[in-house]
Structure 1
């Protein structure tokens, strides 16, 4: 037994199924034999009873009972019936159960070995199995009536059980052949099943399968990236803890289809392959995720897909911080470059002896820069937003463009509260406008104004505008391939829409002598759960 338990999985299955087949076939054969034996016993009982009733009904038997020595007439009759019917014995006895006929003549005149008083008293027939002088036999007994209807004796006919067993034995060879055929077929089927199981388990033993399962669980729980497995029907078959965290799923989501889970359309498009490609960027629950979808093949047949999810939220945030620092650096560099040019001009004037002209130049330059900075500060009282616009103005000048603050711009101090969302929205829209003017120059006009419903932002540029049909596509995360190389680029407009939508606002774009982006960033206390602020009709580009 220990050797079997330590054997391979295929061997254990083969032995177990063989034992099951043997027990099933053996049990069936035993039941069949018992049932056949019972049927033969009943058949022989009925046959013996029919012979006994025939003997009891013979007129010669009734007449013999009236003679002085009835055994002389009844013994030949019984012997003839026995020979004619094939019964093992035919016995005739009187009412006192004294034998008048018996195969063993020595027993004639002696009392029956089995009690027949019930038949003689009731006048009913009887069938059963009893043991007599000739051995155990199947018997049928019938009363003998005189012409007046009185019971005067009985006739007993029997067939030895050895005879019944011989007939049962004649039916055994077909049964044995059938059992042998079933055993061979069962063994062959058992071998095929064991072979198939071994094929499906790649020849691995149970302990190896258990070890692989433990290793898989350890890997899935230890890896920091999210892992999501899908079958060919798009149902989730596996999801690790990291993926549950990133997507907001539960253990009950395993086995469900993508359409049944709380995911955005963009996320579903990437997961089900409607948006193919590597490093697909998706915004999900304030997280920036990068998804890769890889087909899985088992024995050269595709069985599903594995999707890996990487959280790039912190990286994108750092890249945005770096971008802001870079913008500030560019602005400082531009100012330093401009300051150096002015200083060279002043030095040249001084060397030429034009002292008064140098003083006037310095005064005019300082006043111009002061007017530009104070102009922004007068319209935008919030210092953070004003600093952003001043830095973007310097950056625009460095890139060969100009940033103009619209006449209707007006932001009161303290109205924005936490300015981070406003800086994100305005900064991304202005950066997008400057990108549109890259290499061609032009004007970026910015309008920021606070009203009762929140901060209204309008950024227009004199560039080529938005290609028809892409008005919504530009807000899709990863719209530009620059995401792979330039950090947050390609996410700016998507983050802008997400920020506005999270606070119940909106952002959109239309063409009017260039691209014009308009947005509404509601105040924190104006956000209505589940609702969005109504969008106004399209606005033309400000003149």
Structure 2
């Protein structure tokens, strides 16, 4: 089925409006013509009735006049009717009965107005509705002898319409031509603004867009130049924890963090910006929309990479372990070369002592961790971190009395996230020593990482856990993200993380203390 074009729809609507307006104008014209007719006919009728009442012949002969008996009054009445151009004229006696009329049917009928009173208005006659004027007739002595009546029949609605029809037809023709031309021009302008699409195509496009936005797993937010929301996908509401019905609200009214607000407004121009929203890690890309060289808003797309971040943390542990293994392989090569040389020199007792020394040192390093940490994943991470730090001339120690049982699963991964980032941060900031304390008490796990570095400035204590803050760069360069993840993992587990200072062995150490709960 062929769809009606926008121009045809506008033309039909315009013509309908023209017809409605003309009907309304016609009705007003008929009402106005009725009022004009009553006013003009009433004036002429009153003037003619006064002339008839003042005629000496009428004043003399009317007292003796009888119905249907011809007198000299007939010519006077007919003369007044002919001169005034009205429909009829008549005379009535003092009893109110018409004795003479230019319309024979009216002779003998009763006059409706009070005798002796002048009156002008509408009345019902045998001929139909009419505008009549009644004027009393007085003789020479001033005595009332009758009433002069002159009237004009009220034209019917059809007559009045036929009188106005020529003008209405002209109005209709002119309005139709103007409406048609205006509709075509308006349709062309609308089509230019809608890229040549018809209204039905625009409706289909809007439906497709809504379906697409509902089906997108990634979030989409479009803002106008003033920061007001133009559209927001369902996934965007869910990922940002924003109630539905946010269209038209400004970014400030959405209750977002400063960093997320800056990214949405395009203040942060780098690609793949990582932002923490609640317990989610989001990657955002904001693109400015430019039309005819003028910025008309921004579009931000973002995706949830929380699970990917967890995998990256696990891969980080694996990478650290792999690096440690490569370093150990290199070290083992040197040790094997040493053993091979001792064998070639027939120093067999020295070979035994050398191997026993290596074994004891390796067992001491491993047992220092495994004796305190029962969780395999956390223990593997710490052993790898200790080995990696040793190559940077940094010693990592487990504080006496530390104890952590086996947990596994998501809690083990969160512990690895917390410990891995805190240890990396401490190794980078320290002057050579890092100490780790692990404690469990009534389902609450406390992780404390001490370093002998310069500490954290008092002005930075509140900012150090904000995503994007770092002394080494921004989040887009890979920094300013670890401590934010630590806080995210702790709060997800019903705890939190803090930084301060503490005296250990007479020295002032910087301590990051993270608290988590087992059941969350």
Question: Shared topology, TM-score over 0.5?
Answer: yes
- Over 3 Å counting, the alpha-carbon distance change for 1:174 and 1:241 in structure 2 is closer
**Equivalent in 394, 398, 408 of residue 402 of structure 1:** 394
**Equivalent in 521, 525, 529 of residue 515 of structure 2:** 521
Alignment of 1:43-82 (within 5 A): 43-53=40-50, 55-56=52-53, 61-66=58-63, 74-75=73-74, 77-78=76-77, 81=80
- Provide the alpha-carbon RMSD of the alignment: 4.5
Q: Name the structure 2 match of 1:35.
A: 32
Q: Is 1:494 matched up with 2:484?
A: yes
- TM superposition shift of 1:309: 0.9
Unaligned runs of 5+ in 2: none
Is the contact made by 2:41 and 2:152 (CA closer than 8 Å) also made in structure 1?
yes
**Equivalent in 184, 188, 195 of residue 195 of structure 1:** 188
- Over 3 Å counting, the alpha-carbon distance change for 1:340 and 1:464 in structure 2 is farther
Q: Is 1:475 matched up with 2:472?
A: no
Alignment of 1:9-158 (within 5 A): 9-53=6-50, 55-56=52-53, 61-66=58-63, 74-75=73-74, 77-78=76-77, 81=80, 87=86, 90-92=89-91, 94=93, 97-99=98-100, 112-114=104-106, 117-119=109-111, 123=115, 127-128=121-122, 138-142=131-135, 144=137, 153-158=146-151
CA–CA separation in structure 2 for the residues paired with 1:98 and 1:222: 94
- TM superposition shift of 1:495: 0.9
Alignment of 1:14-413 (within 5 A): 14-53=11-50, 55-56=52-53, 61-66=58-63, 74-75=73-74, 77-78=76-77, 81=80, 87=86, 90-92=89-91, 94=93, 97-99=98-100, 112-114=104-106, 117-119=109-111, 123=115, 127-128=121-122, 138-142=131-135, 144=137, 153-159=146-152, 186-187=179-180, 189-249=182-242, 251-261=244-254, 263-298=256-291, 300-380=293-373, 384-397=377-390, 399-405=391-397, 407=399, 410-411=402-403, 413=405
CA–CA separation in structure 1 for the residues paired with 2:151 and 2:28: 26
SS in 1 for 2:402: coil
Instruction: Number of aligned residue pairs: give it.
Output: 505
- Over 3 Å counting, the alpha-carbon distance change for 1:67 and 1:424 in structure 2 is closer
CA–CA separation in structure 2 for the residues paired with 1:180 and 1:447: 94
Is the contact made by 1:460 and 1:516 (CA closer than 8 Å) also made in structure 2?
yes
CA–CA separation in structure 2 for the residues paired with 1:383 and 1:314: 22
- TM superposition shift of 1:324: 0.9
Is the contact made by 1:466 and 1:514 (CA closer than 8 Å) also made in structure 2?
no
**Residues 427-454 of structure 1: CA deviation (Å, up to 9, x unaligned):** 11112334557xxxx5241221426584
CA–CA separation in structure 1 for the residues paired with 2:289 and 2:395: 52
SS in 2 for 1:118: coil
- TM superposition shift of 1:523: 3.1
**Equivalent in 437, 452, 466 of residue 448 of structure 1:** 437
SS in 2 for 1:447: strand
Moved more, 407-416 or 40-49: 407-416
CA–CA separation in structure 2 for the residues paired with 1:71 and 1:82: 18
- TM superposition shift of 1:323: 1.4
Is the contact made by 1:98 and 1:112 (CA closer than 8 Å) also made in structure 2?
no
Is the contact made by 2:445 and 2:518 (CA closer than 8 Å) also made in structure 1?
no
- TM superposition shift of 1:466: 6.1
User: What TM-score do the two structures reach when normalised by structure 2?
Assistant: 0.78
- Over 3 Å counting, the alpha-carbon distance change for 1:509 and 1:137 in structure 2 is closer
Unaligned runs of 5+ in 1: 103-110, 528-543
User: What TM-score do the two structures reach when normalised by structure 1?
Assistant: 0.75
CA–CA separation in structure 2 for the residues paired with 1:173 and 1:447: 103
- TM superposition shift of 1:42: 4.3
**Equivalent in 486, 504, 507 of residue 497 of structure 2:** 507
